[in-house]
Chain A
């Protein structure tokens, strides 16, 4: 079973994180201070750590730095009340794998955790082709085909599809998509990503075929085998 360590000093927030992650079938341990958090992170065999940036006793940034210098490579999702752009860069530079600022939506947090967990697995897999139902994406030739028919994708559409397919079955929020595909970290407005997804949909889900990209209301998008 996948084990998560949540280091968070606010009890209510922590309870929500635990509840949300548990509902995704993950086993979550909660620690409310930095010192104990670091101990558990080092000794316990966790698959992922969600780490509050500001903690009593030992600061979140210090924990990441310490873990990385000790050679602990557990993926870390940093959750911070410091939304400063530079703060984000600092957190990622120190060794955080993703950075989420408060206030955040728990479903978005869970989605990021899932993506991080999955990323670890796919790195080992080293696949050259991604496949969802009859949709195929060749990671080397950058070609996509549905049902054997070649699809012409623009570079951005290819990136978008690759991100979706690397996380097949996983809900991806608009923010995550924008960050991953375009590399920016601001709120471009919800409909912009929707429009880009719409374009991609038209190409990979032509009428007559079962749609692969699904909209999850209020959360984002997911690509999955049709049910």
Chain B
């Protein structure tokens, strides 16, 4: 069992919040700049109109040659190419000034008009785009056209765009940095929580999720989960306590029962009918005691207090010992029992006695359920740096539908019902395997029967 990996596909809520905040800030500053732009451009527009009106008034006082001079002089002050003029005769023919002809669509009414397309000229001193223009008739009948580029607005636009650019950059850059930083810390904390949670999943219910002293949402959540764990642990202990009490209460009566039956059997005359009957009863009592011990053993193993006894061990020696232990039994049952081993296997971490017991149970089952003439193979494989132990047989195999069930207490495969066995073997194996954090898989072997694969890679983090 494994918990979701926090580094894949998961995002930190605070970094998301920061991203949202940045986006809002950018949108908000855009609106602000837009409003500013609108206000400033309206103001400047007004200003341009005013200055044009002032010039109109100024030049209306001049007459004849005086007007031409005044216009020429006024242009020397305008170096930015904002103002321009054109002087035309009463027939609107060009006389002087930068404007060679009266702009199209300019009514000759002495009022200020805004033209979208001001002049059609290559002269850089003339405004080309939109402008304010006014055509006034002088007292001597000539036409004076004054234009003023309101395109200084363009400069304002540029300034505002600049401001917007820097503003957004200054928001987004620290935003990205902040997003990254904000993301790292909660993820690190989540990883710490995950490590702890895995220890709890692995069975160590005394562990709690880590709390920081920041008292934030994560801590709040961790505290809630911890309270829950507290309750679960208490309930588990209560249940275990009840079971232990029942178990303990049964030990003494069973001992008494067995002892009294044994005494009766001893006292009964050799070869008598009672003695034979008592033999059977005694056998039943022994079976009962063996099952009872098996059950106690599983609950002990599920307690998971034995990890402290784990050592590095060599699987080769273990498998050889197991092979030697089971070979006579297999041969007596008419089976070929082979040990397939590479020259060496990666060491594994575990309790030697328990691993011996687990694999012994697997072998015992394979030998029990494989009919005479069949084969059983015990195999050690170096699977990319860790050891895999396989037990294969040519027996009936385990149907897919029953593969889950065989690890439950007292389950025995349908096909093998006539054989004796406590049905606890595989649940003991399952308990030992999960205690070690190994995995056990069932499948079909190349021999035609069951294939049990014990993958000795510790899949769970060992609690520290």
Q: What is the interface of chain A, defined by CB distance below 8 A to chain B? A: 10, 12-13, 16-17, 19-20, 23, 81, 83-86, 101-107, 154, 156, 182, 184-189, 191-192, 195-196, 198-199, 217-218
Do B279 and A83 touch (CB < 8 A)?
A: no
Do A105 and B286 touch (CB < 8 A)?
A: yes
Q: Please name all residues of chain B whose beta carbon is closer than 8 Å to the beta carbon of A23 when the two chains form the complex.
A: 266
Known: A106-B262, A198-B332. Is A85-B286 also a contact (CB below 8 A)?
no
Do B248 and A81 touch (CB < 8 A)?
A: yes
**CB of B254 within 8 Å of the partner chain:** yes
Select one of A17, A103, A182, A187 contacting B258, CB under 8 A.
A103
Q: What is the interface of chain B, defined by CB distance below 8 A to chain A? A: 248, 250-252, 254-256, 258-260, 262-263, 266, 279, 282-283, 286, 289-290, 292-294, 296-297, 300, 303, 305-306, 309, 324-326, 328-329, 332, 353, 356-357, 360, 364, 421
The residue in chain A whose Cβ has the minimal distance to the Cβ of B265 is A218
Interface centre among B251, B326, B357 (most CB of A within 10 A): B251
Do B252 and A81 touch (CB < 8 A)?
A: yes
Select one of A17, A83, A189 contacting B293, CB under 8 A.
A83
Select one of B255, B263, B353, B357 contacting A102, CB under 8 A.
B255
Do A83 and B286 touch (CB < 8 A)?
A: no
Do B286 and A13 touch (CB < 8 A)?
A: no
Do A102 and B258 touch (CB < 8 A)?
A: no
Do A19 and B263 touch (CB < 8 A)?
A: yes
Do A101 and B324 touch (CB < 8 A)?
A: no
Do A86 and B306 touch (CB < 8 A)?
A: yes
A186 to B286, CA, bound (A): 15
CB B148 to nearest CB in A, in angstroms, measures: 99
Do B262 and A103 touch (CB < 8 A)?
A: no
Given A105-B259, A156-B324, 18 further pairs, Cβ under 8 A: A10-B252, A13-B252, A13-B255, A16-B256, A19-B259, A81-B248, A81-B252, A83-B300, A103-B258, A103-B292, A104-B255, A105-B289, A184-B356, A184-B357, A188-B325, A192-B364, A196-B328, A218-B286
The residue in chain A whose Cβ has the minimal distance to the Cβ of B331 is A195
Do B328 and A105 touch (CB < 8 A)?
A: no
Select one of A81, A105, A196 contacting B262, CB under 8 A.
A105
Q: Please name all residues of chain A whose beta carbon is closer than 8 Å to the beta carbon of B353 when the two chains form the complex.
A: 85, 184-186
A20 to B256, CA, bound (A): 12
A185 to B421, CA, bound (A): 18
Q: Please name all residues of chain B whose beta carbon is closer than 8 Å to the beta carbon of A83 when the two chains form the complex.
A: 293, 296-297, 300
Do B294 and A192 touch (CB < 8 A)?
A: no
Select one of B252, B294, B306 contacting A85, CB under 8 A.
B306
CB A198 to nearest CB in B, in angstroms, measures: 7
Do B332 and A218 touch (CB < 8 A)?
A: no
Do A105 and B300 touch (CB < 8 A)?
A: no
Known: A16-B256, A184-B356, A186-B357. Is A103-B289 also a contact (CB below 8 A)?
yes
The residue in chain A whose Cβ has the minimal distance to the Cβ of B257 is A103
A83 to B286, CA, bound (A): 17
CB A6 to nearest CB in B, in angstroms, measures: 13
Do B248 and A12 touch (CB < 8 A)?
A: no
25 sample A-B contacts, Cβ–Cβ < 8 Å, listed by A number: A12-B256, A16-B263, A23-B266, A81-B252, A83-B296, A84-B303, A86-B305, A102-B255, A103-B254, A103-B292, A105-B258, A105-B286, A106-B262, A106-B263, A185-B353, A186-B353, A186-B357, A187-B293, A188-B360, A192-B325, A192-B329, A195-B332, A198-B328, A218-B282, A218-B283
A86 to B307, CA, bound (A): 11
A16 to B265, CA, bound (A): 13
Q: Please name all residues of chain A whose beta carbon is closer than 8 Å to the beta carbon of B250 when the two chains form the complex.
A: 103
A198 to B256, CA, bound (A): 32
A121 to B357, CA, bound (A): 33
Do B251 and A103 touch (CB < 8 A)?
A: yes
The 5 A-B pairs at the shortest CB distance, nearest first, are namely: A16-B259, A103-B254, A102-B251, A106-B259, A103-B255
CB B267 to nearest CB in A, in angstroms, measures: 10
Q: Please name all residues of chain B whose beta carbon is closer than 8 Å to the beta carbon of A10 when the two chains form the complex.
A: 252, 256
Q: Please name all residues of chain B whose beta carbon is closer than 8 Å to the beta carbon of A191 when the two chains form the complex.
A: 329
Q: Please name all residues of chain B whose beta carbon is closer than 8 Å to the beta carbon of A217 when the two chains form the complex.
A: 279
Select one of A85, A182, A184, A198 contacting B300, CB under 8 A.
A85
A138 to B296, CA, bound (A): 41
A154 to B331, CA, bound (A): 16
CB A107 to nearest CB in B, in angstroms, measures: 6
A59 to B389, CA, bound (A): 43
A19 to B266, CA, bound (A): 11
A217 to B283, CA, bound (A): 10
Select one of A20, A182, A189 contacting B259, CB under 8 A.
A20
A186 to B352, CA, bound (A): 13
Q: Please name all residues of chain A whose beta carbon is closer than 8 Å to the beta carbon of B262 when the two chains form the complex.
A: 20, 105-107
A198 to B331, CA, bound (A): 12
A157 to B266, CA, bound (A): 32
Q: Please name all residues of chain B whose beta carbon is closer than 8 Å to the beta carbon of A198 when the two chains form the complex.
A: 328, 332
Q: Please name all residues of chain A whose beta carbon is closer than 8 Å to the beta carbon of B254 when the two chains form the complex.
A: 102-103
Q: Please name all residues of chain A whose beta carbon is closer than 8 Å to the beta carbon of B421 when the two chains form the complex.
A: 189
Do A102 and B252 touch (CB < 8 A)?
A: yes
A106 to B282, CA, bound (A): 12
Interface centre among B262, B294, B303 (most CB of A within 10 A): B262
Q: Please name all residues of chain B whose beta carbon is closer than 8 Å to the beta carbon of A84 when the two chains form the complex.
A: 300, 303
Do A188 and B364 touch (CB < 8 A)?
A: yes
A13 to B300, CA, bound (A): 24
